[in-house]
């Protein structure tokens, strides 16, 4: 993306933004009128919010990097983690994989594993906040630091509220009656995906913050406790779905399954995704929290 590093609000920045919008318009027209002819890597249903969130966050990140001195650069592994996380979230929402996820329960659960756990975990692990902030246009910053916005963030990242929202974003959308309604309504479907991804970013950013408190919101003890709290509920719901012999999600039979497997098998595979890799992410998060704590103690001792 050709963006002037020092003048994002000038002509170079506006030309780059115009190029992003033009590319989005081309994708929108192509995927709207010729969806069957599009390759798998292009959107099945183009969504402007996902497209803009992806391109602008990556663009602002690159601008922010260009404004850092070499000694200030985040480590390479953090930069790679951020880019892989963003691309993985985009891939499950804006490629033909999204179509497959609407027709197979286990593919849908793999999609939400990326949105809720893996992809957003990698984004947070990349600690991109300060880099994006430096690359973001100045006129967008005052609303983000306004008192109402900060109060909402304080609530979302409260140590008692954050685990409830994180686990709740799994449980609520798995309620069979609600899940059926969501999978048949495009607006609700998009709301579900957005809520899961946004909650994932807020939660993992809170837990994986490498800094001690202050300036981090929570101490390492609270963060480790949150990892222990979220793991059992996810494993329980995953185990229930895996071991059940009742087809809770018959909506995929209504939509038409892509692969020739029965509903119970499809459901069992989806439960396994929640049960094992979903539950495992809590352990990975705990290891990262402990690693950050030991490294900061070592720096303090030195």
Q: What is the pLDDT along the chain (302 residues), one digit of tens a residue?
A: 333 444 444 556 678 888 899 999 999 999 888 877 888 899 988 999 999 999 999 999 999 998 888 767 889 999 999 999 999 999 999 999 999 999 999 999 999 999 999 999 999 999 999 999 999 999 999 999 999 999 999 999 999 999 999 999 999 999 999 999 999 999 999 999 999 999 999 999 999 999 998 899 999 999 999 999 999 999 999 999 999 999 999 999 988 899 999 999 999 999 999 999 988 899 999 999 999 999 887 776 66
Q: In the chain, count of helices (H) and strands (E)? A: 16, 0
Instruction: Name the one residue in this structure whose structure tokens are 């027209």.
Output: 29
Are residues 220 and 292 in contact, defined by beta-carbon separation less than 8 angstroms? Answer: yes
pLDDT score at 1? 39
Distance in angstroms (rounded) separating the CA atoms of residues 67 and 251? 50
- The per-residue pLDDT for 16 is 82
Q: Which of 141, 142, 123, 145 is nearest to 133 (CA)?
A: 141
Gyration radius from the chain CA atoms: 20
CA distances, 167 to each of 27, 113, 173, 176 (Å):
35, 13, 11, 17
Contact between 105 and 270 (Cβ < 8 Å): yes
Q: Residue for token digits 């920045």?
A: 13
> In angstroms, how far is CA 123 from the centroid of its own chain?
7
pTM, to two decimals: 0.92
User: Helices 279-301 and 186-207: crossing angle, nearest 10°?
Assistant: 30
- Residue-level pLDDT at 265: 95
**Which residues, 6+ apart, have CB-to-CB distance to 17 below 8 Å?**
none
pLDDT of residue 255: 83
What does each C-alpha distance from 271 to 28, 224, 228 come to in angstroms?
Answer: 34, 25, 20
Question: Using an 8 Å Cβ cutoff, are 243 and 264 in contact?
Answer: no
Q: What is the pLDDT of residue 77?
A: 95
- Which pLDDT score is estimated for 37? 82
């Amino acid at each position: 993306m050709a963006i002037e590093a020092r003048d994002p609000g000038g002509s170079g920045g506006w030309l780059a933004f115009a190029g992003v919008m033009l590319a989005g318009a081309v994708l929108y027209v192509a995927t709207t009128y010729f969806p069957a002819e599009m390759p798998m890597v292009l959107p099945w249903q183009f969504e402007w919010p996902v497209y803009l969130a992806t391109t602008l966050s990556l663009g602002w990140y690159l601008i922010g990097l260009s404004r850092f001195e070499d000694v200030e650069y985040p480590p390479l592994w953090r930069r790679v983690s951020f880019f892989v996380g963003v691309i993985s979230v985009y891939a499950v929402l804006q490629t033909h994989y999204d179509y497959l996820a609407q027709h197979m329960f286990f593919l849908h659960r793999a999609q939400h594993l990326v949105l809720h756990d893996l992809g957003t975990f990698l984004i947070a692990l990349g600690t991109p906040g300060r880099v994006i902030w430096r690359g973001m246009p100045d006129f967008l910053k005052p609303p983000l630091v306004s008192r109402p916005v900060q109060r909402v963030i304080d609530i979302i990242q409260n140590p008692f509220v954050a685990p409830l929202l994180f686990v709740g974003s799994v449980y609520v959308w798995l309620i069979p009656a609600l899940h059926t309604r969501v999978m048949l309504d495009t607006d609700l479907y998009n709301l579900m995906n957005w809520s899961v991804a946004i909650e994932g970013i807020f939660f993992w950013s809170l837990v994986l913050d490498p800094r001690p408190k202050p300036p981090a919101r929570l101490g390492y003890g609270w963060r480790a406790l949150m990892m222990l709290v979220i793991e059992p509920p996810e494993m329980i719901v995953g185990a229930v779905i895996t071991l059940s012999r009742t087809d809770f999600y018959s909506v995929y039979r209504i939509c038409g399954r892509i692969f020739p497997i029965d509903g119970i098998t499809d459901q069992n595979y989806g439960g396994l995704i929640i049960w094992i890799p979903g539950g495992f992410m809590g352990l990975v998060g705990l290891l990262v929290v402990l690693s950050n704590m030991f490294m900061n103690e070592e720096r303090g001792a030195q």
